[in-house]
Amino acid sequence: MSAHFEVEGGHPLRGRIRPQGAKNEALQILAACLLTDQPLHVSNIPDIVDVRRLLALLQCLGVGVERLAPDSYRLQAGEVNPEALLTPEGSALVRGIRGSLLVLGPLLARCGRAFLAKPGGDQIGRRRLDTHFLGFQQLGARFKYHADADYFSLEAPEGLEGTYILLDEASVTGTANVLMAAVRARGRTTIYHAACEPYIQQLCTLLIGMGARIAGVGSNLLTIDGVDGLGGTEHRLLADMIEVGSFIGMAAMTGGELTIEGADVHQLGLIPATFRRLGVQLEIAGDDIHVDGRPLCRVETFIDGSILTIADHTWPGLTPDLLSVLLVVATQCEGTVLIHQKMFESRLFFVDKLIDMGAKIILCDPHRATVVGLERRTQLRGISMSSPDIRAGVALLIAALSARGTSYIYNIEQIDRGYERIDDRLQALGARIWRRN
C-alpha cells in the first residue's frame, strides 16, 4: 500500500527554513549534460522524485552520474546511446516524468537523432508538444510519430542549421529544448517569443559557461551562434520560487511566523506582491523573507472597487504553479478573490476537496474559481483526500495544516515529485505531520 500523510491541523509554523533548489531549473540543467563529453558539476539539486527519475533516465542513455554531496552531482556523458530510450526500461523511465522531453534537444544536437515515448507528468489538462517539434523541424530535423510503437523520432543526419524561429507559445520547456539544440547548430539561430523565466536565464548562463554564444538573455528574443563543441563547467541552482511561495502560504494559513532564508528574492517577480494583495504580511531583508501570519489577511480590491482577480501569465507575469497555493490562502482572507487559471484547464478541479473542508468557493468554469471571503478567520475541517498533482497536492497539504482536526492525504508521491522531505522539514517548524503506510 502506498504511503499517505496524516496531518493534525491548527499548529502555527514557526522558525526558519531554506528552500530547496529549483525543480524546474534542475531538469533543464541536468539534461544539458548530454551536450558535451566533458564533466558538469551541479549543486543545490533537490532530492525529489522527478530529479531521481531524470538521473536514472540519463544513466540509461550512458551518462556517468556521481553524487558528490546530498545536493551536488558530477555528470559526464562520454558515450551516449539515443536508442536506449526505445528499450522497455528506457520507455518506462520516459513515461514516469514529463521532463524527459528535455533530452530531445541535446540528443539531436550531439548525436543527430533522438527517440522518445510519450512522456508522463501531471494530468492538469492539455499540454501540447508542438512547440518542441516545430522548433526542431525548423532547425532541419525530420520528425515522425510511430503510432504502432507509440514513440517519436527526430533525425538530422547532416546536422542542424541555424534559422529564424517564432515560437507559437512562450513555453519554458519548449524554449529550453530548442535552445539546447540551437547551440550546436551551424550558423545563427534567433528564437523569438522565447520564454524568459529565471530558469531559462540560468540555462543560458550554464550554456555560456560551457562555451555557447547566446545574446538576449532575459528577453523574449534569443540569438544563438552555433559552436562545434561545448565543454564542462560548474553551476548552482536558484532557490525554488514555487517552494518559497508555498512556505509563505503555510505561514499565512497557520497563523505562524516564518523566515524563509536564501529565497533569491530578485528572481521571484510578482510573487511577493501578489501575496501582499491578499493581505499577507511580508518583510524582505536581502534574500530573506519574514512572514507574519497572525493578523487576519484582508484582500485589496482594485482601485475602482471591483473584485481582486489573480491570474497567471508568462514571465514576468505570475507563475501558474502558485495559483493553487494562492487559492487556498484566499479561503482564509477577508474579501473575495477571483482566481483565473488561464494555461491549464484541469488545475482547479481540486477545489471540491476544499469545499468539503468548509471553504466557500464557486467553480465558475474549468479556468476560474471565485473564493468568497470571510469576516473572520474560520478554520477548515480535516478530511481524507487524494493529491491529483504536485501543486494541488501541496495546496491541500497547506489546507490540512490549518484545518481543525486530522486530515489524511493520499497519493503523496505527487507531492514528493516536487518537494524534498516536506514532512521532516515541516515537523522541524512545529507541524504535526506523519508519513504513514
Note the pLDDT tens digit of each residue in 368-405: 999 997 766 678 999 999 999 899 999 999 999 999 99
Question: Which H helix or E strand runs over 236?
Answer: strand 233-236
Residue 150 pLDDT: 86
Residue 178 pLDDT: 98
Residue 377 pLDDT: 62
Question: CA-to-CA distance for 252 and 325, rounded, in angstroms?
Answer: 11
Give the β-pairing of 188-192 and 164-166.
parallel
Residue 376 pLDDT: 63
| Of the candidates 78, 36, 80, 39, the residue with the CA atom closest to the CA atom of residue 57 | 80
Question: CA-to-CA distance for 75 and 49, rounded, in angstroms?
Answer: 18
Residues of the chain where predicted confidence (pLDDT) is lower than 50: 122-126
How do residues 110-141 score in pLDDT, each as one tens digit? Answer: 999 999 988 865 443 445 788 999 999 999 99
Contact between 214 and 222 (Cβ < 8 Å) = yes
**Domains with residue ranges and CATH for the chain:** 4-20+239-436 (3.65.10.10), 23-236 (3.65.10.10)
Tell me the CA end-to-end span of the chain in Å, nearest whole number: 6
Residues serving a catalytic function are 122
| Of the candidates 43, 21, 424, 344, the residue with the CA atom closest to the CA atom of residue 199 | 21
Number of residues assigned to the chain: 437
Residue 375 pLDDT: 63
Question: CA-to-CA distance for 301 and 252, rounded, in angstroms?
Answer: 19
pTM score, whole prediction: 0.94
Residue 437 pLDDT: 85
Residue 399 pLDDT: 97
Question: CA-to-CA distance for 425 and 88, rounded, in angstroms?
Answer: 36
Residue 127 pLDDT: 52
| Of the candidates 344, 351, 349, 437, the residue with the CA atom closest to the CA atom of residue 399 | 351
Residue 144: which residues within 8 A CB-CB, separation 6 or more? 152, 153
Rounded to 10 deg, the angle between the 198-209 and 23-31 helix axes is 30
Residue 257 grid coordinates: 511566523
Residue 277 pLDDT: 95
